[in-house]
Amino acid sequence: MSDDEVDLELLELMRKRWGIGVKDEGPPETRVLGNAQFICDNSIDVALDMRSTKVAAQLVLDEMEKRDYSTKTWSEHELHPKAQDESTVNFIFTMDLLNFSFWSEKSDEHRFAVVYKSKRWTGYWSLVAILQRALEQDIPITSPDFWVDEEQCSDEVLRTVFSSGTDEEIPMFEERVRCLREAGQILQEEFDSSVVTLIEDAKGSAAGLVNLLAEKFHCFRDEGTFDRKKVRFLKRAQIFVADLWAAFDGEGYGEFNDIDKITMFADYRIPQMLHSLGMIWYCPPLENKIRRLETIESGHPWEMQIRGCSIWAVELLRREILKLKPNAKINAILIDFFLYDLAKEKEKDEADVIPHHRTRSIWY
């Protein structure tokens, strides 16, 4: 390049660095909530019941107040990390990187489970137990540098890390390995192998961090097409932000200036609870498929309607709770956490509720 030619790459970097010629698009938005409303407005197989939503709002508010439900509830669980430092940031990132697809077609006795500290853990808690067990065994499972070191972190080592107390191995093992390798490489190349640097690049914006995850990491890009429109769910990207916020009680690494932009996390447990509360209804063919425990493919219109309508249902529930108590410290995150805990309680009590829908996917 001659002295008279313009270095376009350098010029673009300077524009971004000093904001020259860069259009101000306003605060970051994830578009998840708007997309969920679009799905709900155009849904023909899943419907919401506003009368039941009003009743559920009073029930949820009363129960959350009785339990003094808050961000502190997250850290109170015996398996969640307690330290307020970078090790917890790394733990949460690893946890939510792998937080998908724990359901099993086997009985509770034979499904994938982890025995840790004399207790048997299944579902999401089996993953948390796996990470804690590995760290106690001096396996740096929450280190991005470890994930990309295929000698130290071989597939066989990872099979040992994810070993089960039953004959069933963890679902989607190969996909979990790919998520670790991909995330480790991207963190190494773009964020100095630091999850903290990733968080800092979002500049205190929850929506900005969600968008950054979706932009940089394919395994967080939870999107699809519904009625010829691109829609976003971003379950695991959003729950990473929410878990940071809860673990650090809204301070330090968990401080965000727009945390209420995070929606509920569209998975299979919350729709199950919303159905039991009478808030969400399925057309007969869909309900029959769910009750017969048949798999719904990821990206199928039924699955997308369940997820989109669930997000919008929790938003309507949040609004109804604030009508009942305008000063309530409530958002979609806390409602989601509460409904998830309620679902697990009902499962333990063997309550008569509809089964959760079955979709095998890395998205949830």
Q: What angle do CA 319, 347, 111 make, to 5 degrees?
A: 125
CA atoms of 234 and 310, how far apart (whole Å): 13
DSSP-derived secondary structure letter, 364: -
| CA distances, 113 to each of 125, 164, 331 (Å) | 9, 6, 32
The full DSSP string for 222-282 is -EEEETTEEEE--HHHHHHHHHHHHHTTTSGGG--TTGGG-----SSHHHHHHHHTTSEEE
- Cα–chain-centroid distance for residue 279? 22
Cα-Cα-Cα-Cα dihedral of 77, 80, 86, 90, to 10°? -150
Q: What angle do CA 255, 260, 262 make, to 5 degrees?
A: 95
DSSP-derived secondary structure letter, 156: H
131-165 burial string, b = 16+ CB within 10 Å, else e? bbbbbeeebebbbbebbbeeeebeeebbeebbeee
Using an 8 Å Cβ cutoff, are 262 and 241 in contact? Answer: yes
Report the pLDDT value the prediction gives residue 211, as an integer from 0 to 100.
98
Quickly tell me which residue has 């963190």 as its tokens. 187
What ranges make up the beta strands (E) of the chain? 46-48, 114-116, 119-121, 223-226, 229-232, 280-282
Angle between helices 301-324 and 50-66 (to 10 degrees): 60
Could you report the per-residue pLDDT of 93-146, keeping only the tens digit for each?
Answer: 999 999 999 999 999 999 999 999 999 999 999 999 999 999 999 999 999 999
Report the pLDDT value the prediction gives residue 342, as an integer from 0 to 100.
87
Report the pLDDT value the prediction gives residue 92, as an integer from 0 to 100.
98
Q: What angle do CA 37, 38, 41 make, to 5 degrees?
A: 85
Could you report the per-residue pLDDT of 3-19, keeping only the tens digit for each?
Answer: 566 677 776 666 655 65
DSSP-derived secondary structure letter, 220: G
Selected catalytic residue, list 267, 341, 349, 352? 267
DSSP-derived secondary structure letter, 134: H
Ranges of the chain with pLDDT below 50: none
For residue 260, count other CB atoms closer than 10 A to its CB: 13
Report the pLDDT value the prediction gives residue 3, as an integer from 0 to 100.
59
DSSP-derived secondary structure letter, 120: E
Report the pLDDT value the prediction gives residue 302, as an integer from 0 to 100.
98
CA atoms of 63 and 249, how far apart (whole Å): 21
Using an 8 Å Cβ cutoff, are 268 and 359 in contact? Answer: yes
Beta bridge partners of 114: 121
Structure tokens at 229: 């429109």
Structure tokens at 160: 């040992």
For residue 51, count other CB atoms closer than 10 A to its CB: 9
- Of 265, 258, 355, the C-alpha closest to 310 is 265
Report the pLDDT value the prediction gives residue 345, as an integer from 0 to 100.
85
Residue 267: active-site member: yes
